[in-house]
Amino acid sequence: MVAFLAASLCIGLVSSRKASQGYEEYFLSGRNMPWWLLGVSIVATTFSTDTPNLVTDLVRSEGVVGNWRWWAFLTTGMLTVFLYAKLWRRSNVMTDIELYELRYSGKPAAFLRGFRAIYLGVFFNIMIMAAVTLAAIKIGGVMLGWSPLETVVIAAVITVVYSALGGLTGVLLTDLFQFVIAMSGSIAAAWYVLGLPEVGGLSALLAHEAVQTKLAFLPSLEHMTWRELVPIFVIPLAVQSWAAYYPGAEPGGGSYVVQRMLSAKNERHAVGATLAFNAMHYALRPWPWIVVALASLVVFPTLESIQSRFPHVDPQIVRHDLAYPAMLTFLPHGLLGLVVTSLAAAYMSTMSSQVNWGSSIVVNDVYRRFIRPDAGEKRLVWVGRVSTVVLMSVSCALALALENAVQMFDILLQVGAGTGLLLLLRWFWWRINAASEIAAMIASFAVALTFFVAERTGMLELDAWVKLTVGVATTTLAWILTAILTKPTDSGVLRRFYRTIRPGGPGWQRVIADARAEGEELEAEGDARSDLRFALVASALGATAIYFTLFATGLFLYGAIAKGIACAAIAVASTGGLVAVWKRLRFS
């Protein structure tokens, strides 16, 4: 672990000279990064210390099928790959927040940019980092006997130092290093856990009574009631996947994912990076965590069994997500060192990306836009370094007040409920304006706050999926009515946006017709519309290939070889179709 931390610091130090050259170099690596490095960086960022904890919580509470709460995000994730990645790269903005003043006009656009910068870059970002740090606290308490404060101080200091020094280039290089260690650790842990005497190998695990009811990864009314099926499968696919804003799985792209797109060499590399991320995120990583989660049902069947094994751990944080680090305490010396280091790598990769992205928002969309527009390059870099330290410190303080991973997951989904459809359509419907985005944010936050207060005061208690659905319906209605009833974006801004982005689609016909009537010809519409169709087909084929690769892996583990081969064949056929369609896509 010491060697790993030293190597991470060295990467930050080596990258610091290049990062200090300028503002764009510090936050976007000079827009010259290859797709494979960016793809690994995104997947390393989403591979956090809280991710295996969250998966364990879901498996123990709802079974493997509970993972559809996050597997469902693949559907819009593939739209981000083939529909939105090249649009983001074309925009040439510095941050995803800067897009607001490219897409909208006037004071509402400026207000939206500043408000969204604080809301996402600071508030939302701190919540995510707090959830990640909470997982580190639980791992430190169970595996190392550290207090929450000791864990926070030790885990955060190294991360903030190399993040502040090396900028995005330092983050990307350490992500590559950390991802290899993190994946190696998770696979090694799953392999060893299966060999524990209490577990007795893969066959014995699958045959155990406590495990058999948790194995299904596709829903079935034979084993599930509608009350179980709706929140686990129906709502995530039918509503959550497109309607909720969740960092790393934003509809249409956002946060550090967009930062990677903007730092790509060109549009083709931006698309390749997000495709590589989705393939690794959904098809490569889940099963080692699921195996450990299933084994924990045998070793720690109840929360009381976890508490009795670790009496020194605060009972307030003993939840199902604690079972993952609890299982890792069985590892022998040497392997334990690798796994603990891999979890440190997961923590550092996520925190470094989140804090670098958040800092870029603070600098570009708050400080440079509203406070010091004339600030020089070196000053902006130093403001970025200071904001990195501040964001890290506040998020660590918040982590000490949280209890479990699913709690934060549900809070974040509720706060962003209903904004997803707007984020998808703003590229393709000219009538969406700054006022509609402001209305969506206010409505989603107001609904979330109402539910929070009502539950805390005992006035109301609803399931998370009910709150999500109500939030989506209320927020969607609010922003659509606002878009229709308020003044549209200035026509000159709309035409500039269309010329720059070239999104295509029927939603821009009014703008194109008005421009043509005034003697201004925008991009030929037929070509863009054709490219839109190919992008939609590629998205469907990509999602099919990844889902069936995920299913095939699970079926092979379960010993269902024939079904596994059938799923693998569908994955291969879908991949072949995707390769053919890729050749028809246009890149600038």
At the second CATH level, the architecture of 1-377 is: Up-down Bundle (1.20)
Q: Residue 574, exposed/middle/buried by CB under 10 A (0-12, 13-18, 19+)?
A: buried
How many other CB atoms sit within 10 Å of the CB of residue 493? 18
Give pLDDT, residue 404.
54
How far out from the chain centre does Cα 174 lie?
19
Q: How far apart are CA 304 and CA 193, in angstroms?
A: 21
How many other CB atoms sit within 10 Å of the CB of residue 432? 25
Tell me the sheet residues that pair with 5: none
- Quote the tokens at residue 368: 């440079």
Give pLDDT, residue 1.
79
Give pLDDT, residue 523.
67
Give pLDDT, residue 319.
82
Give the pTM.
Answer: 0.89
Give pLDDT, residue 6.
84
Cβ-Cβ contacts under 8 Å for 277 (sequence gap 6 or more): 39, 42, 43, 46, 257
- Quote the tokens at residue 400: 């000490």
Of 248, 244, 246, 262, the closest CA to residue 353 belongs to 248
Give pLDDT, residue 528.
57
Q: How far apart are CA 516 and CA 521, in angstroms?
A: 5
Q: How far apart are CA 576 and CA 558, in angstroms?
A: 27
Residue 244 has what DSSP assignment?
A: B
Give pLDDT, residue 487.
93
Angle between helices 405-415 and 464-485 (to 10 degrees): 20
Of 329, 232, 263, the closest CA to residue 39 belongs to 263
In contact, 292 and 324? CB cutoff 8 Å: yes
Q: How far apart are CA 285 and CA 279, in angstroms?
A: 9
Q: How far apart are CA 202 and CA 182, in angstroms?
A: 22
Tens of pLDDT along the chain (588 residues)? 788 888 888 888 888 878 778 878 889 999 999 999 999 999 988 877 768 888 999 999 889 999 998 999 999 999 999 999 999 999 999 999 999 999 999 999 999 999 889 988 888 888 888 878 887 887 777 777 888 888 888 778 878 888 888 888 888 988 898 888 888 888 999 999 999 999 999 999 999 999 998 998 888 766 667 777 787 888 888 888 887 776 677 889 988 999 999 999 999 999 999 999 999 999 988 999 999 999 999 999 888 888 888 887 777 777 888 888 889 888 898 888 888 888 788 788 888 888 899 999 999 999 999 999 998 888 998 999 899 889 988 888 888 776 555 555 556 555 666 688 899 999 999 999 999 998 988 888 888 878 878 877 878 777 778 888 888 899 999 999 999 999 999 999 999 999 999 888 889 989 999 998 998 888 654 455 567 889 999 999 999 999 999 999 999 999 999 999 999 999 999 999 999 999 888 887
Q: How far apart are CA 357 and CA 98, in angstroms?
A: 13
Amino acid at 3: A
